[in-house]
Amino acid sequence: MKMSDGGRVVIPAEIRQSLGLKEGDAVLFELRDGEVIITTRAARLKRAQALFQQFVPPGSPSIADELIAERRAAAERGD
């Protein structure tokens, strides 16, 4: 690939297809150890979820479900 005016670079079709990118989609760039990493928001979210799952023991209750239950109980009490 060659960089054009204004620093524009075309992402090759095979990479766009592999990432599931379509025209208008946002991509994220990260500079890591002198290399540029291109990802999608969905890929970043999936990586973050996997990272957090390392700290959740199997069979643990959902934190979101616990929060919803607490909020509903507070609403019933009139808090």
CATH number (domain holding residue 44) = 2.10.260.10
The pLDDT, as a whole number, for residue 64 is 86
Show the tokens assigned to 22: 């379509």
How many domains does the chain contain in total? Answer: 1
Please give the residue that has the higher pLDDT: either 72 or 58. 72
Q: Could you tell me the pLDDT band of residue 12, with boundaries at 50, 70 and 90?
A: very high
pTM of the model: 0.55
Closest CA to 20 of 36, 43, 37: 43
Over the stretch 31-71, which tens digit does the pLDDT of each residue have?
999 999 999 988 999 999 899 888 888 888 888 888 999 99
Residue range of the domain that includes 43: 5-77
